[in-house]
Amino acid sequence: MAWRGLHITKPGRLSLADGQIVISQESGDVRMPLEDIGWIILDEPRLTLTTALLSACAENGVALINTDARHMPSSLTLPFHRHHRQAAIADYQINLSLPFRKRCWQAIVVAKIRNQADVLDRHECAHGDTLRAMTRHVSSGDADNVEARAARQYWSALFRDFIRDDPSDLRNMMLNYGYAVMRAVVARALVGAGFVPCIGLHHASQTNPFNLADDLIEPFRPFVDHMVVEQFGGRDASSDMTIDDRRKLAGIPLETARLNGGEFSLLAATEACIASLMKAVEAQDASLLSLPSSKQPETLA
């Protein structure tokens, strides 16, 4: 079972030998069992990969994330046909009722806002209780767009002098990097369970191949937000993202979440979440959908 990721930032050659990934760089060779790897970030243009390794990554369900000249994630490689019930599951997705999809989206929005409130509390920001109160007003399908209203309250409390869509802001660079990694991990879990990622519950863009991943990532975003607040540390927002920033954010799937009363890495939590989605879809019961929580259990005095 996969439990680790790779973030490669130096030139080298990646190949396959005896079921292991071989990373050959100037300092020597490093080998790791491919079955342990859940995601690989190729954060260096002078890397070469063998086709044997690419095929093995697909067979083992490894998400390959490539980056552009600015070191930002720019593409994702996932395997085809990873599940023996692929066609049956696609049929389920296509025929999901609108009320079921709306109830799932309601649960997703509520979980996201609760996790955002927890982030505000962890960083001693105002309005955590305000956000929790807002979850009571999330209706089926979030017809009143409480998610957007909560977001405005959330970002203004979390960061000073911050505009979410400013690409030059270091905080946005870090958020987008972390979200891209989490999106890849969610998409990986969806494909592994046999879902077609382009068929969403709420997102329905005809140009987006990852509508379903963009639905399910929402409750995971606040985990990235928390890491960015800690990593940013009050630096100048006009500064550039460093290799240490990218390395930290590349490890976001190893952070801890709570799900169904237990603790999981975010990597494992995505798999558990998608497994619960399968049960919900088959039973047409949105209450079976389990979503991650960042809330730490209260300790007894």
Mind listing the pLDDT tens digit for each residue in 173-218? 999 999 999 999 999 999 999 999 999 999 999 999 999 999 999 9
Residue 300 has a pLDDT of 36
Residue 299 has a pLDDT of 40
Residue 83 has a pLDDT of 62
Q: In this structure, which amino acid lies at residue 62?
A: V
Residue 234 has a pLDDT of 86
Residue 207 has a pLDDT of 93
Which residues in the chain come in under a pLDDT of 50?
Answer: 298-301
Q: What is the rounded CA–CA span in Å between residue 72 and residue 41? A: 10
Residue 81 has a pLDDT of 64
Cα–chain-centroid distance for residue 289?
A: 17
Three-state SS letters, the chain: CCCEEEEECCCEEEEEECCEEEEEECCEEEEEEHHHEEEEEECCCCEEECHHHHHHHHHCCCEEEEECCCCCEEEEECCCCCCCCHHHHHHHHHCCCHHHHHHHHHHHHHHHHHHHHHHHHHCCCCCHHHHHHHHHHCCHHHCCCHHHHHHHHHHHHHCCCCCCCCCCCHHHHHHHHHHHHHHHHHHHHHHHCCCCCCCCCCCCCCCCCCHHHHHHCHHHHHHHHHHHHHHHCCCCCCCCCCHHHHHHHHCHHHCEEEECCEEEEHHHHHHHHHHHHHHHHHHCCHHHCCCCECCCCCCCC
